[in-house]
Structure 1
C-alpha cells in the first residue's frame, strides 16, 4: 500500500511535468538541464545520504548478500532476454534491441527515486548496489549484444563504467561500512539535495511524455506485448525465483523495483551509437515508461 500511495504522488509530479511541458514552462532544453542535475547532483547526493544513515540496521554481510542478489537479477534478465526472441517472433534485425531492452531498466533515473519515496534511505543503499553490475554490463555485454555479439565483454566504453553514479555508490558503501561520521554540513547538504531527486526526475519524465505519440505505437502489437512481459511477467517470475533466496522484506522490495522499472534510456543511446534500431528502442522507452506508472503499483499488490 505504501508503494501504491507513493506511486500516486510520483504520478502527480509527472502530471505537473507534463502540464509544464505542454505550456512551455519546461522546454526540451530546460528538461535536459534538469536531467543533468538529477543524474549528476541529486541522485549521487541521495546515494551518499543513504550511506550516511547511521541508524540503519543493514550490515556489511547484508550488503554483500544484496550484491549477490543483484548479480542473480541480471543473470535472470540475460537468460530471459534469449527467450523473448522466439516467444515474440522478433525479426532478425530487431533481436539485438529487444535483448538489450529486456536487460537494462531505468534503475537510476526512476528506480532509486521510487525507492527513496516509498521505502527511505535503507532501500536506496541496497539500490545503489545495482549500479555496479548495471554499469559494467551496459558498457560491455550491452554493447556486444547490440552489435550482435554473444560474449560477456567488450573493450569499448570500459572507461565510462566508472561514472558519478558508481563513484557515489562506492563512497556511500565505504562511508556506511566504515562508520565514518561525516560533518553535519555535508550530511545536511546531501539530505536537502537528495530531496530533489524524486520530484525533478518525475517532472522530467512527465515533460518527455508530451512527445509520446500513441498512434505511433498503436500498430506495434509486438512492442506492446514486450512491454507487458517486461513490466508484469518478468518481475513476477523474478520475484518467485528470488523468494527462495531472500527473506529480507526490504531487499525483496528493492529487487522488485529494479525488475519492474521501464526500459532504460541508455538502451536507446546504445542502439543509436552501435547500429541498433534507435526508433524501436526510443518507442520501447516511451511506452514502457507510460505503462509502468500503472504496472509498478498493481503488480506489487499481487506480489506483496
Structure 2
C-alpha cells in the first residue's frame, strides 16, 4: 500500500471537509438539511458503492472467500476491541459506567460513512465492497453487544437488531444474490451505480464539515478529562496492534491493507445518536467523534506508513 496515495486521498477529503465547514460558517445549516445529506449518503450513495463493486468485480471463489474472511474478522476484531478497551478503562480507574461508554468510543470505527468511500477510492470497486462487508460485521457488534453495554438495565432486546435492516446491508444482500444468479447487470444499471457511487465521498466529507462550526460555537465544554483515552486507543493503539497481528497471519496482502485502513477509522458516526438514546453522555460522544475524525486525517497516513514496514 502506497502511503503517498493514502495521504493524497486523506488530504483531498480534508480539503472537502474544510469547504463544508466554510459553508456552514457562512450559512446556517438546518437540521433538515443535515438529515437530507445523511439520507442521500446512507440510502443512495453508499449502497451504490456496494453495487458498483459487485458489478465491476469478477466474483470468483477467491473474492467470495475474501468476503467471508472480512466479515468474520470484522466481528472478531470489533468484539475483541470492545472488551480490551473495557478492561483497560477499568485498569486505569474509570468507573464501570464510564468505562463501558469509553470502550465503545475507543473500539468501534466509522467504517461505513468514511471507510467505504475511502476504500473505494484507494482500492477500486472491490475495496468499497469489502469495506461494506466489514461495516456489516461492525453493525452486528454495535447493535447487539454495543447497545447491550449502553443500556442501564443490561438486558438485550431482539428489537435492537432491527437497526441492521438498512440500505447498505440490503445492497450487500442484493449484490450477493446477483452474484449467485450468474446474471449480468444491464448497462444502464452499471452506469447508474458508477455515477451515484461517486457521490459518497464528497457528500460525506461535506457533512462532516457542516458539523464543525456549530460544535465549536456551542457554549458547552469542548473537552472532557478522559478524551485522550478513546482517541489514543482508536487512532493509534488498535490500528498498531492490528498491523502487528496481520504481519503474522498468512492472508493476502490486499486484505491486510484494507483491514489496516478499516481499523484506523475514527469513532463511529452513530455514537452521538446511540449515546443520546441509551445514556446521558451525548456530549462525550459528539466530542470524541469530532476530534477523532479531524485527527484521523493525520493518523491514517501515519498508520499506513507504519504498516508499510511490515507488509
What does residue range 133-152 of structure 1 map to in structure 2 within 5 Å? 133-148=137-152
Between 91-100 and 39-48, the greater mean CA deviation after superposition:
91-100
What does residue range 27-176 of structure 1 map to in structure 2 within 5 Å? 27-55=30-58, 58-148=62-152, 153-176=156-179
> Normalized against structure 1, the TM-score is what?
0.90
1:203 and 2:203 matched: no
1:22-81: per-residue Cα shift (whole Å, max 9, x none)?
111755432321121001100001111101114476522222222222233223313322
3-state SS of paired residue (1:217) = coil
Counterpart for residue 261 of structure 1: 265
Counterpart for residue 221 of structure 2: 216
In the alignment of these two chains, the number of paired residues is: 302
Contact residue 60 and residue 177 of structure 1 kept, 8 A: no
1:297 Cα deviation from its structure 2 partner: 1.1
In structure 2, the CA distance between the partners of 1:102 and 1:91, relative to structure 1 (3 Å rule), is same
Contact residue 85 and residue 233 of structure 2 kept, 8 A: no
Between 34-43 and 99-108, the greater mean CA deviation after superposition:
99-108
1:175 Cα deviation from its structure 2 partner: 2.6
1:216 Cα deviation from its structure 2 partner: 2.9
> Normalized against structure 2, the TM-score is what?
0.89
Counterpart for residue 6 of structure 2: 3
Between 224-233 and 4-13, the greater mean CA deviation after superposition:
224-233
1:86-115: per-residue Cα shift (whole Å, max 9, x none)?
354323442221122123211111111111
In structure 2, the CA distance between the partners of 1:303 and 1:149, relative to structure 1 (3 Å rule), is farther
Contact residue 90 and residue 96 of structure 2 kept, 8 A: no
Contact residue 147 and residue 274 of structure 1 kept, 8 A: yes
In structure 2, the CA distance between the partners of 1:149 and 1:51, relative to structure 1 (3 Å rule), is farther
Query: Gaps spanning 5+ residues in structure 2: where?
Result: none
Q: What stretches of structure 1 move > 3 A for 4+ residues in a row?
A: 25-29, 54-58, 148-151, 176-179
Contact residue 44 and residue 164 of structure 1 kept, 8 A: yes
Contact residue 21 and residue 211 of structure 2 kept, 8 A: yes
Provide the aligned C-alpha RMSD in A. 2.3
Between 198-207 and 259-268, the greater mean CA deviation after superposition:
259-268
Query: Gaps spanning 5+ residues in structure 1: where?
Result: none
